[in-house]
Amino acid sequence: MDAILADLILTGGKVLTVDARFSIAQAVAVRDGRILAVGSDAAIERHRGPRTEEIPLAGRTMMPGLIDGHAHMDRAGLRQILPSLSGCRSIADVQTRIGEIARGKPLGAWIVTMPLGEPPFYRDPEKGLAEGRWPTRQELDEAAPDNPVYIKPIWGYWRHTLPLVSVANSRALVLAGIGRDTVPPSPAIEIDKDAAGEPTGIFREQHFMPMVELSLLRAAPGFTVGERAATLPAAAAAYHAFGTTSVYEGHGVAAEVLQAYRQVHQAGRLTMRANLVFCPDWRGLEDTDPAHLVDGWAHWLAGRGLGDEMLRMGGLITEIGRNPDNAIRAAAPTTGWAGFNYDMGLPRERAKQLLVACARRGIRVTGIWPDMLALFAEVDRIAPIRGLRWVLGHIAVLTREQVGLVRDLGLVVTTHTNRYIAKEGHLLRARHQLPDEEAIVPLRALRDAGVPVSLATDNVPISLWHPVMQAVTRLSSAERRPIAPDQALSREEAIRAVTNHGAFLTMEEDRKGSIEPGKLADLAVLSADPMSVPAEAIADIEAEITIVGGRIVHRRAGQPNRVTSSR
């Protein structure tokens, strides 16, 4: 029988197939966007035809495309919309930068910039200025006297320290209606004032999710659907640079984000496989029977959800409680950095009714707060959820008993170790009054219990190789020591957590997550071998080539512009 000819072959490499045996191959053949064959160079040679293209791997390591279990990918694009203040070392530098921006703007047009400080974390930005303080409205006035100026705050989870600070000039304050008698809408907001009682233009927020830009400074333009759509391809490209080929947006997406994804997909410009989770907006639905709502949603949320292999929406997210600060945020016309609806929460009994209805209609539910585990267990006693792959995300701490409950409920876990090990791991024992550190991101306990764990970035930094490294080393970046080293994963296990388990999370383990015949040809050719480099160097890995559905979506600088033609 004649062999089926490939569109593309990749030869001469170390191929981590991440199949059930973690087999190592040498070459891969691709046809019609799927894996045709995997094996030795000699075995793949039979699939070479006159039109087959070839990528010589030259000994490099290739593996399945990475799957981010909690990505917030769109934010990587949004950060490219606004002018940057990176590199400013004094208030004079800030004034110069804003003055340059103003010269390209019409009189009266808003100037909204990225936060002060250095990405991606924006740590202690005022300490990076020679004056050791924030600029005032008057200093911004000097730079742009004819334009309203607003320096946005960070999304607080980028840095995980408070307060969040933003600054507006005098024109911005006037347009926003802010004066000496303005009362903040929340106790978490401080309007800084000078000795005369006048606003300095500086706002401080004691909350990780900004409110000022969605309330007091609502007059400043927010991100539009068009801007979100225009920057999604760039966001995907940023993630592709580290080998990521699929994202799960477990925090849910607001309508504006879904619209942006649909526009990009319909235009044929979506290169990242995206699984989106429905984030309900409960305004106006407070008295509606949850079961009635779920009946209407089930046809597009149940099981894998509705969509195709590139874009799919399935399942929903909710949380317990109604937060007055979230009500303030939700009243804004856009969601800002969040991209999800702030008012997704429900009173506990009503949330329970919603989840029971979801369980009965086969809808996957995602919860990201610790109190959701007990609620999941209550729901399970009424309507079993095992087999529905409900998701418990943002996992920081789980006791042995909770790990057992997660296993018994058949949950999938997502966690971002770049926060809960690297940034905050050294703080969690005291914060949660733990007897030791073994419950902090207990990856080994979860793995040994048979619980699938999908590692995630939470968008900062965007490389999944940081979580892989942290899962292996358990290294705290704050104290340079391992946090609960007995909870470490092996390299193979950590790689499965960004491939197999991500595919299981989205109910697509039959389609992706390993390099096997018939599966989607989502591949990452790496700058180094994660199985052999020094453990801490895993975080430095990049993708030299990233392939989605057999199509090259990323080439690292220095890689050939075109694959070579076959002999």
Q: What is the mean pLDDT of residues 79-105?
A: 97
Kindly tell me if the per-residue pLDDT of 566 is higher than 80. Answer: no
What pTM did the predictor assign?
Answer: 0.95
Phi, psi of 554 (to 5 degrees): -150, 135
| Burial class of residue 416 in the structure, from the number of CB atoms within 10 Å of its CB (0-12 exposed, 13-18 middle, 19+ buried) | buried
The burial class, CB within 10 Å (0-12 / 13-18 / 19+), for 89 is exposed
Confidence band for 288, pLDDT divided at 50, 70 and 90: confident
Q: Is residue 74 part of a domain?
A: no
Average pLDDT over residues 172-196: 97
Looking at the structure, do residues 349 and 434 belong to the same domain, yes or no? Answer: yes
DSSP 439: T
Looking at residue 52, its pLDDT comes to 97
462, 479: one domain: yes
270 with 175, same domain: the answer is no
> What's the longest Cα–Cα distance across the chain?
89
Question: Does one domain contain both 462 and 566?
Answer: no
Tell me the average pLDDT across 145-168. Answer: 95
Instruction: State mean pLDDT over 230-247.
Output: 98
Residue where a domain stops, chosen among 181, 214, 247: 214
| Residue 60 pLDDT class (50, 70, 90 cuts) | very high
Rounded mean pLDDT, 443-458:
98
Question: CA torsion sign, 171 to 175 to 180 to 183?
Answer: negative
Q: Are 156 and 150 a contacting pair, CB within 8 Å?
A: no
3-state class (DSSP) for residue 365 = strand
Average pLDDT over residues 527-545: 98
What 3-state DSSP class applies to 287?
Answer: coil
Q: Do 249 and 169 share a structural domain?
A: no
* Main-chain phi, psi angles of 296, to 5 degrees: -75, -25
244 and 363 assigned to the same domain: yes
Count Cβ neighbours within 10 Å for each residue of 11-34 and write b for 16 or more, e otherwise. Answer: bbbbbbbbbeeeeebbbbbbbebb
* Overall number of domains in the chain: 3
105: in domain: yes
How far is 246 from 251, CA to CA, in rounded Å?
A: 15
Distance (Å, whole) CA 67 – CA 515: 14
- Whether 455 is in a domain gets the answer yes
Query: Rounded to 5 degrees, what are φ and ψ at 225?
Result: -60, -40
Structural domain including 178 reads: 82-214
| Residue 551 is assigned to a structural domain of this protein | yes
> What's the rounded Cα separation, in Å, for the pair 437 and 483?
7
The two tokens of residue 50 are 């006159």
Please tell me the least confidently modeled range out of 46-50, 64-68, 212-216, 281-285.
Answer: 281-285
Confidence of residue 561 (pLDDT cuts 50, 70, 90): low
- pLDDT confidence of residue 560: 61
Residue 298 falls in which region: left (phi positive, over 0), alpha (psi -120 to 50) or beta = alpha
Where does a domain end: 512, 534, 551?
512
Task: Assess whether 365 and 390 both reside in one domain.
Answer: yes
Per-position DSSP letters for 147-192, written without gaps between them: S-EEEPPPPGGGT--S-EEEEE-HHHHHHHT--TTPPPSSTTEEEE
pLDDT at residue 283 in the model: 83
Residues 526 and 542 sit within 8 Å (Cβ to Cβ): yes
Mark whether 156 and 131 lie in a shared domain.
yes
The confidence band for 215, taking pLDDT boundaries of 50, 70 and 90, is very high
Please state whether 542 falls in left (phi above 0), alpha (psi between -120 and 50) or beta: beta
Is 525 within 8 Å of 62 (Cβ atoms)? yes
Of residues 318, 440, 436, the one with CA closest to residue 369: 318
Closest C-alpha among 183, 26, 67, 16 to residue 507:
67
In a domain, residue 239? The reply is: yes
Query: How far apart (Å, rounded) are the C-alpha atoms in residues 522 and 273?
Result: 10
Task: Centre a 10 Å sphere on the Cβ of residue 535 and count the other Cβ atoms it contains.
Answer: 14
Cis peptide before 163 (omega within 30 of 0): yes
Are both 197 and 260 inside the same structural domain?
Answer: no
Q: Is the pLDDT of residue 43 over 70?
A: yes
Residue 426's CATH number:
3.20.20.140
Q: Quick check: 150 and 168 in contact, CB under 8 A? A: yes
Q: d(Cα 300, Cα 283) in Å, to the nearest integer?
A: 21
Q: Same structural domain for residues 428 and 282?
A: yes
Collapsing DSSP to helix, strand or coil, 122 comes out as coil
Stronger pLDDT, 236 or 430, i.e. the higher one: 236
Tokens linked to 554: 């990323």
Please give the torsion angle defined by the CA atoms of residues 46, 50, 55 and 59, in that order, rounded to the nearest 10 degrees. 40
Q: What is the pLDDT of residues 323-340, one digit of tens each?
A: 899 999 999 999 999 999
Asked if residue 355 belongs to a domain, the reply is yes
> Please, what is the Cα angle at 47 between 44 and 49, to 5 degrees?
135
In this prediction, residue 16 carries a pLDDT of: 99
Do residues 244 and 251 touch, judged by C-beta distance below 8 A? no
- Residue 295 and residue 180 share a domain: no
Clarify whether residues 484 and 425 are in a common domain: yes
Give pLDDT, residue 323: 86
Amino acid at 266: Q
pLDDT of residue 565 exceeding 60: no
Number of Cβ within a 10 Å radius of residue 514: 21
Beta bridge partners of 306: 313
Q: What is the pLDDT of residues 350-359, one digit of tens each?
A: 999 999 999 9
> Percentage of residues in the chain with pLDDT exceeding 70?
98
Question: How distant is the alpha carbon of residue 267 from its chain centre?
Answer: 23
Domain boundary residue, one of 191, 214, 237: 214
State which H helix or E strand residue 448 sits in: helix 443-448
Is position 76 within any domain?
A: no
Phi (first) and psi of residue 171, to 5 degrees: -60, -40
Strands 311-317 and 365-367, by their bridges, are parallel
Segment 368-389 mean pLDDT: 97
Residue 100 to residue 143: CA distance in whole angstroms: 9
What pLDDT is attached to residue 391?
A: 98
**For residues 43-75, b (16+ Cβ closer than 10 Å) or e, as one string?**
ebeebbeeebbbbebeebbbbbbbbbbbbbbbb
Here the tokens at position 409 are 């409920």
Tens of pLDDT, residue by residue over 498-525, are 999 999 999 999 999 999 999 999 999 9
Tell me the average pLDDT across 364-368: 97
Token pair for 173: 């304050």
**pLDDT of 557:** 83
- The answer to whether residue 219 sits within a structural domain is no
Q: What is the CATH number of the domain that holds 24?
A: 2.30.40.10
**In Å, how far are 11, 291, 459 from 126, measured between CA atoms?**
51, 50, 23
